[in-house]
Structure 1
Amino acid sequence: MENTQTSSVAAGAALAQPEVRIAEGVVRGRWRPTTGGKGNPQSAAFLGIPFAEAPVGELRFAAPVPKAPWEGVFDAAEFGATAQRGDPGVTLIPEPSVEGESTLNVNVYTPLVPADGTGDAAGMPVLVYIHGGGYFAGSPASPWYDGRNFNRDGVVTVTISYRLGFDGFGWIEDAPSNRGVRDWLLALDWVQRNIAAFGGDPGRVTIAGQSAGGGAVMTLLGMEKAQHLFHGVYAISGALADVSAARSEEFGRRLAAELGVAPTREGLGVLSEERILEAQKKLTAFDGGDMSDIVEKGLPLGPSVDGDLILRPTPESFRAGVGSDKPLVLGATDDEFTMATADAGRAMALVPKGILLGKLGVPKEARRPYLAANADVLAKGKARLARRVLTDRMFRVAILRVVADRGAAPTWVYRFSWPSGTFGFAEHCLDVPFFFDCLDGPAMVPLAGPNPPQTLADEVHEAAVAFIVGGDPGWSRYDAATGIARVYDTPSRDVADAYASVRPLLTTGR
């Protein structure tokens, strides 16, 4: 997608190390080339800009505090500290951890830095991306989240860091709830105040995320207090948490008891980050038992229905019309969790189909129609069927419910069906490098195979750009009568009732 800002980019490029003045002070970034040979040839990266004070000491379990102004120039050439520590071993996306205390920071990528560094009236649309990782892992420092090719196509891009796990989402008796959510809100407020200095339009902000990040943007879409901070939502494999207040408190008390302290800021504050992480990992570890329990209850750490920021479960907010004025794109890969039971194929072959579906939480009346609708999957074996059930119950059923809950609100649905050259199916995370158009990035072969199709990346990325720029990704809105969704594959196509194989599971409760 061509952009008319190239002459302005050339003026900004005269600064070998571009500088921009924001509300807190001056930041210095660096230029890099875009790829793909079209649109803006350069992208300026401003990395690790703090939007809040470091959440340490008295601020550790507090609401985020806006960053105070600084003197001189903040060097934004390297990624800031991440809330993720060490190697969590939970993602197919390369998401490095960066040591340090100032973990609440943003990375800004822009094709346009005005020569005087004081801002510009260009008003390009803005993408704000929230990383995934189950609300306890993940990092905005991934090379896959580099916004250079969104910059190429005229979109300013921001990625944000936020507190994870217990520090971000754990219940503490005398601490503010949903601290990670409050981090999202302050980061989005920072965008509203500062993005014009990078050539962005604060009145044209699309929030996007994948997995837990996809759940995050849907949580924000259902929050009354967040509505002024964004104008569109793109949810990739969104995993809503909506942890109940009772469950959140129960887990917080259990973790404090495990550590032998009171469930208060004072009690937990004397413990090292490492000790709390050890207890968190112990209490959330999956023992290989009933996956259906995880599907039904979700993880205990994530956005909770606290009656303050999150007034009610997100589906209820959608049904009440919250966020109905905002366009939404949402979808999932066909086999999000096909690797979840990768070692259980031989054992599952001995389990009768009905019993297997029952263990995975499929009600008796839905089993026969579900098997009929998924005969192609069953033909590949019971293990593959079980993994598809997990995918459907954790991700794809939610898509149909979200569009139903939003009623006539502008909503578009997709499926990502292209099978990875490594795994032979469309697994969790596979669509992310297509969204960012970064198939030339590192660690691609383990996820996608040696020759992922650039033509498909062009399609996925260009549709995302079209949505961010104009509020329409380029195919028909989803409606109950036709159920049309874009199916990304080679070739891609628009398919009526594209989620028909999931419908038998709608007989289950919410």
Structure 2
Amino acid sequence: MDALLTTTSGQVRGTRRQLPGFDSFAFLGIPYAEPPVGPLRFAAPQPRGRWDGVLDATMPGSTPQRRPFADVTTIPEPSVPGDDILNVSVFTPDPGAAGLPVLVWIHGGGYLAGSPASPWYDGAAFNRDGVVTVNLSYRLGHQGFGTVPGAVANRGVLDWLAALRWVQDNIAAFGGDPSKVTIAGQSAGGGAVLHLLALASGQGLFRSALSASGVTRTLSADEGRRRAERVARAAGVPCTLEGFHSLTEDQLLDAQAAAVPEVTGIDVLRQAVADSAIPSPVVDGEVVPTAPLDAFASGAGAGVPLMMGAADDEFSPMARAAASDLEPLGNLGALAALGMTPDAAVRYAEANADAATQGAVRLAGRAVTDAMFRTVVPLVAQHRDPETTWAYRWSLPSIASGLAEHCHDLPSLFDCLSAPDVDAFAGAEPPQRLADELHGAAVRFVTDGDPGWAPWGGTRTARTLGQDVRDMPGAFDSTNEAVALRGA
């Protein structure tokens, strides 16, 4: 059954879905900006003009992703062709309601890939629990984050901000309250949340923030220029606005990939720790005035409740591909090869005895995980009000790998355990109790600003979600020595 609503750009037609015990209305692929093509390709997002008639929002909108991380991601991430890639999908329990809390989801994918059309991100369970959900699409790779001389920087960041302004202007039509918006995301999407929390231009567009496996990596202006020059050389064009405009989408994607050095073995881990293979927001002094951690140290986002978490072995499987390099080095040698000092390696191995007892591959994988993801939690928390900061640890091992990996908390966060591909790592009967815990916490946080467990506080407490559920003081202290590896 169709449903009609009116936005600032015109009418949209969505779908009423009758699910067990509740209804959910889906409005898919609603444009919030003009298509970023032609002269708008490397420009700031332009507000969407009005359309005639009724926009069909019953099918997924076009996605920026053209080349999925098919070989490394566990998330089903469909690519939908088309130029109208700056769009949002809205899931609401009742378009006729008023004042419902709103979750705005920003997908991950290393700022290179990912899809807001993933079935894992369907807002049905949040709708069941009285929350309107918005999934936003943004420019990726060099088009979204690469430095282009003569063009505005951080176009992907500007896309996030434009989508959030659309939410402010339109979400009431879907039953949501623009004063009750929580921004949320995972991996690069979690990084987007932390960047938005740090930006003065983002304040007032949301009241709380949820970052799962978030990253805080930024590039300096010089690093951004050097990366752009490598992409231009790989494409055989001048590093100018005209040069990049001359490239087709496929040519730009090819050059973007060719600009990253091909490495093997332990160098893959070093490259990952240094984040040298992915684009990132650039500290340009305007759109992104300063790096998030520096902004938080100056008090940015201090009054905004923040819930954040990470998994115990986010990128640990990456180390298995380097096993032949790591195993001969032993535990301490493997850590030294990643950049730890001898004393720090000893302390890290002691603090991560569960991984150390399984050998150099497991311990090195944990170190990479910590340097990239888990250290973010204490580094951000130490600059914030400890009573408005909540943390969690995902510790449930996959039945396939025995590791609590990157993305494996997402089906529980969205309470979508029957979604495609979840059984590949969680088994035929994933633990509903953990979905009840994590999804329930997210609903409470979006609704009331408190997930329902002890905040970070002076004891650096996090709720751990694994074979059992408990609150653990000092839950991320084992990451301390990995801080030195960040950006190595």
TM over 0.5: yes
Residue aligned with 2:204, SS = helix
> Does residue 359 in structure 1 map to residue 349 in structure 2?
no
- What CA RMSD, in Å, does the superposition of the two structures yield over aligned residues? 1.6
Q: Which residue of structure 2 aligns with residue 50 of structure 1?
A: 31
Q: Which residue of structure 1 aligns with residue 467 of structure 2?
A: 490
Q: Contact between 2:444 and 2:452, CA under 8 Å: does it hold in 1? A: yes
Structure-2-length-normalised TM-score: 0.96
> Does residue 138 in structure 1 map to residue 119 in structure 2?
no
> Quick one: structure 1 residues 405 and 292, their matched pair in 2 at CA, closer, same or farther if it must change by over 3 Å?
farther
The one-letter code matched in structure 2 to 1:19 is L
Q: Deviations over 1:56-103 (max 9, x none)?
A: 111111111111011110010001111001443242100100001101
Q: Contact between 2:14 and 2:57, CA under 8 Å: does it hold in 1? A: yes
Residue aligned with 2:153, SS = coil
Q: Which moved more, 1:338-347 or 1:68-77?
A: 338-347
> Quick one: structure 1 residues 236 and 181, their matched pair in 2 at CA, closer, same or farther if it must change by over 3 Å?
same
Q: Which residue of structure 2 aligns with residue 326 of structure 1?
A: 304
**How far apart in 2 are the matches of 1:256 and 1:86?**
20
**How far apart in 1 are the matches of 2:346 and 2:280?**
34
Shift of 1:241: 2.4
Q: Which residue of structure 1 aligns with residue 146 of structure 2?
A: 170
Q: Contact between 2:331 and 2:363, CA under 8 Å: does it hold in 1? A: no
Q: Deviations over 1:206-248 (max 9, x none)?
A: 0000000000100000001111111110000002221111101
The one-letter code matched in structure 1 to 2:482 is L
Residue aligned with 2:392, SS = strand
Q: Contact between 1:235 and 1:331, CA under 8 Å: does it hold in 2? A: yes
The one-letter code matched in structure 1 to 2:377 is I
Shift of 1:491: 2.0
Residue aligned with 1:284, SS = coil
Structure-1-length-normalised TM-score: 0.92
> Does residue 415 in structure 1 map to residue 393 in structure 2?
yes
Q: Contact between 1:109 and 1:148, CA under 8 Å: does it hold in 2? A: yes
Q: Which residue of structure 1 aligns with residue 81 of structure 2?
A: 99
> Quick one: structure 1 residues 506 and 97, their matched pair in 2 at CA, closer, same or farther if it must change by over 3 Å?
closer
**How far apart in 2 are the matches of 1:332 and 1:208?**
14
Residue aligned with 1:349, SS = helix
> Does residue 277 in structure 1 map to residue 253 in structure 2?
yes
Shift of 1:423: 1.5
> Quick one: structure 1 residues 104 and 433, their matched pair in 2 at CA, closer, same or farther if it must change by over 3 Å?
same
Q: Deviations over 1:75-134 (max 9, x none)?
A: 1000111100144324210010000110100000001122xxxxx5x1100000000000
Q: What does 1:143-222 correspond to in 2, within 5 Å?
A: 143-222=119-198
Q: Which residue of structure 2 aligns with residue 226 of structure 1?
A: 202
Q: Deviations over 1:380-399 (max 9, x none)?
A: 12111110010111111121
**How far apart in 2 are the matches of 1:51 and 1:347?**
48
> Quick one: structure 1 residues 255 and 101, their matched pair in 2 at CA, closer, same or farther if it must change by over 3 Å?
same
Q: Which residue of structure 1 aligns with residue 359 of structure 2?
A: 381
Shift of 1:361: 1.8
* 2:231 pairs with one of 240, 255, 272: 255
Q: Contact between 1:321 and 1:406, CA under 8 Å: does it hold in 2? A: yes
> Does residue 28 in structure 1 map to residue 4 in structure 2?
no
Q: Which residue of structure 2 aligns with residue 434 of structure 1?
A: 412
Shift of 1:430: 0.1
Q: Deviations over 1:382-422 (max 9, x none)?
A: 11111001011111112111111224461001100011122
Q: Deviations over 1:120-156 (max 9, x none)?
A: 5x11000000000000100101000000110000000
> Does residue 71 in structure 1 map to residue 52 in structure 2?
yes
**How far apart in 1 are the matches of 2:2 and 2:118?**
22
Identity, in percent, stands at: 47
Q: What does 1:288-303 correspond to in 2, within 5 Å?
A: 288=264, 289-290=266-267, 291-303=269-281
Shift of 1:490: 3.0
> Does residue 108 in structure 1 map to residue 90 in structure 2?
yes
**How far apart in 2 are the matches of 1:440 and 1:375?**
34
Q: Contact between 2:371 and 2:485, CA under 8 Å: does it hold in 1? A: no
Q: Contact between 2:340 and 2:484, CA under 8 Å: does it hold in 1? A: no
Shift of 1:258: 2.1
Q: Contact between 2:12 and 2:56, CA under 8 Å: does it hold in 1? A: yes
> Quick one: structure 1 residues 312 and 227, their matched pair in 2 at CA, closer, same or farther if it must change by over 3 Å?
same
Count of aligned pairs: 484
> Quick one: structure 1 residues 207 and 509, their matched pair in 2 at CA, closer, same or farther if it must change by over 3 Å?
closer
> Quick one: structure 1 residues 326 and 286, their matched pair in 2 at CA, closer, same or farther if it must change by over 3 Å?
farther
Q: Contact between 1:205 and 1:232, CA under 8 Å: does it hold in 2? A: yes
Q: Contact between 2:102 and 2:178, CA under 8 Å: does it hold in 1? A: yes
> Does residue 84 in structure 1 map to residue 65 in structure 2?
yes
